[in-house]
Amino acid sequence: MDITAWKSLTIDDKIKEKNTSIEGLKSKIKEAESKGKPVSGLKAELAVEKKGLQKLLERKEKDRLKNKENNVR
C-alpha cells in the first residue's frame, strides 16, 4: 500500500496543481477561440483559478515570513 497517497498536499503541490489547471484552461480557450466557440465560461473559470493561485502564493509568502521571523528569535 502506498503511504504517500495519504499524505496531505503541501502548498507547493497545490501551487503546481493550480498552474497545471491554468495552463490547461488557457489551451482550451485557444482551441475554442480557433473553432469560433464561446469562451466566456472558460475565461470565468480561468479567473477563479488565477485568484486561487494568488491566494496560495500569498499564503506561502506569509508562511515564509513567519518562519523567517521565528528563526530570528
6-65 pLDDT, tens digit per residue, is: 678 899 999 999 999 999 999 999 999 999 999 999 999 999 999 999 999 999 999 999
73 pLDDT above the threshold of 80: no
Task: Please tell me the pTM assigned to this model.
Answer: 0.80
Q: In 3-state terms, what secondary structure has residue 10? A: coil
Grid coordinates belonging to 73: 528569535
- 8 A C-beta contact, residue 39 and residue 32: yes
